[in-house]
Amino acid sequence: MDVIADMFARIRNGIQRKRDFVDVPHSKLKQRILELLKQEGYIQNYEILEDDAHKKGNQPTIRIYLKYLDQRKTRPAIENIEKVSTPGRRVYTPIKKMPHVRRGLGLAIVSCDSGIISDAQARKLKKGGEIIGYVY
């Protein structure tokens, strides 16, 4: 199962239901992606919840606080979040063909040897890599 696609689906469903937060199982890759989304202003924050289940050997939970642009929650900061690379079809892009999501208004999440970075950071560092997903 694709854990990143699962996290993106939970975020999409939480936004459609106008939730304040969603919970996903923890992994370091998810945490790095959420840190990038927080830096770029697509989510308010996230926190790692360590409860009694974690102490028994289970996986901790990440709580993602979704961001809305108005008080009535009619305009979410994330219009769409989609997975590009899948376990069966990896999408790698050289720096010369790095995509501009929504003509620069969106964000492409790139995995390279420098870690999880945005498409703008990849252009600045002149590095290509695997396109994990698009956010706009």
Could you give the domains of the chain? Answer: 1-71 (3.30.1370.30), 84-136 (3.30.1490.10)
Q: What is the mean pLDDT of the chain?
A: 95
Position 59 scores a pLDDT of 86
pTM to 2 decimals? 0.93
Angle at the Cα of 77 (from 71 to 82), degrees rounded to 5? 145
The answer to whether residue 52 scores a pLDDT higher than 80 is no
Contact (CB, 8 A) for 98 and 123? yes
Residue count (the chain): 136
Above 80 in pLDDT, residue 53?
no
Segment 48-65 shows an average pLDDT of: 82
pLDDT band, very low/low/confident/very high, at 50 (cuts 50, 70, 90): confident
| Mean local confidence (pLDDT), 118-131 | 97
